[in-house]
Each structure stands twice: as structure tokens, then as C-alpha cells.
Amino acid sequence: DWKIVQHEIIFQGYFRMEKYSLQHEKFGGGWTETFQREIFERGSAVAVIPYDPVRDKVVLIEQFRAGGITTLERPWMKEIVAGIIEPGEEQQEVARRETLEESGCKILQLEKIAQYYVSPGGTTEQCAVYCGRVDSTGVGGVFGLDHEFEDILVEAVDLTQAKVWLNDGSLNSSATIIALQWLLLNRDRLRQEWV
């Protein structure tokens, strides 16, 4: 069992930080002392790896990521499409909307890959990851919404090239790594079912 002793919002801006005073039962019996944890509240997300089984290509995006400014020489990351779930939205709606907004691709079919906690030690955020069948013919260019400060470079990449980037560490976003590893394991099946 566990309990919240105290809860407060300590910051509200683009994101929200909440502070909890907690206790929980211990495996060996008894309860912990009251301890504090700050929790990053961001909302949950949906990520999609757009895959064209006919051309054997994935659609990847590249954009500036503030989280990389202190550790990356160049904080632009190659990733898969992703977006936050707005109130009242279903995961598959978000998958279709974000794929169109960020890459210009229309999803023809979706298969769920996984749903996971991004970093459960400090945030409630979960990410649902999907593979979306697309036609990558003519895909490319710059996409995104100006009012969300998105400047997204889009390219259709041979799956073999994406695998090279996965193996050499060029792809360093968790949802991208999870989705690409899953796709490499399921590629043959999808090429039979989706073509």
C-alpha cells in the first residue's frame, strides 16, 4: 500500500511540476518514513514510425530539441513522429493527426507496438508507440505548425540506412529506438500483411 501525505503544484508554465510527500509499505514489513518527490507533469504522448512496406522505407523527421542543448553539439534529433494526447483524444486520432502535421503522410493502417513510462522515477508521462503504414512516394520537405514553433525536416529513408543509424548511435530518442527495433523484428510479417 502507499499514501500521499501532502501534494502541491510548485511550478506551472509550459510544463508543470508537482511536489508529493509520500509513504509506502516496505517489502520487509512496515512503512517508509515520509519522503518527497517532484514529479514532472507533461501529459502522455503517442509516437508513430511511418513505414512504407512497398518501398521498404521509414519516414523520419529531424527537429531542434531543447533537451539536447547541454549534451549535444548539435541539438537537432532524427526521430519518429510524436505528439501529446489532448483531452478527449484517442491514441489513434493523435497518431493520424501528428503524422499528417509533422510529415505530410496519411496513415493507411496502424499497429500498436508498445506503451511505456518514459521515466517513472520523475514523470507520469507515458508514450504509446505505433507503426503506421504509409505511401512514402514524394515524401520530404519541411513541416510542422508555426504556432507550436515546429520546424521539422522530413525524409523517407531506406530501412537499411535507418538500421545503420540505430547501430551507430545516431538515433538517440527512446521512442525512435523502440519503434525501429520492433520494425526490424516485424518487417517481414508487415511486408506480407500490408502489401
Share of the chain above pLDDT 70, in %: 100
Annotate 134-175 with DSSP letters as a single string. ---TT-EEEE--GGGT--EEEEEEEHHHHHHHHHHT----HH
> Three-class SS of residue 33?
coil
Choosing from 148, 150, 155, 193, which is the catalytic residue? 148
In the chain, the amino acid numbered 192 is Q
**pLDDT digits over 54-64, tens only?**
999 999 999 99
Active site residue 90: no
pLDDT at 146 over 90: no
Q: Which of 13-17, 31-35, 54-58 has the lowest mean pLDDT?
A: 13-17
| Mean pLDDT for all residues in the chain | 95
The per-residue pLDDT for 73 is 87
Pairing mode, strands 57-64 and 152-158: antiparallel
Measuring CA to CA, which residue among 111, 56, 90, 141 is closest to residue 98? 90
Question: Is 156:134 a contact under the CB 8 Å cutoff?
Answer: no
Contact 104, 143 (CB under 8 A): yes
pLDDT value of position 116: 97
Q: pLDDT at position 149, please?
A: 86
pLDDT at 170: 94
Angle (nearest 5°) at CA 55 between 50 and 60: 30
Check: CB of residue 53 under 8 Å from CB of residue 186: no
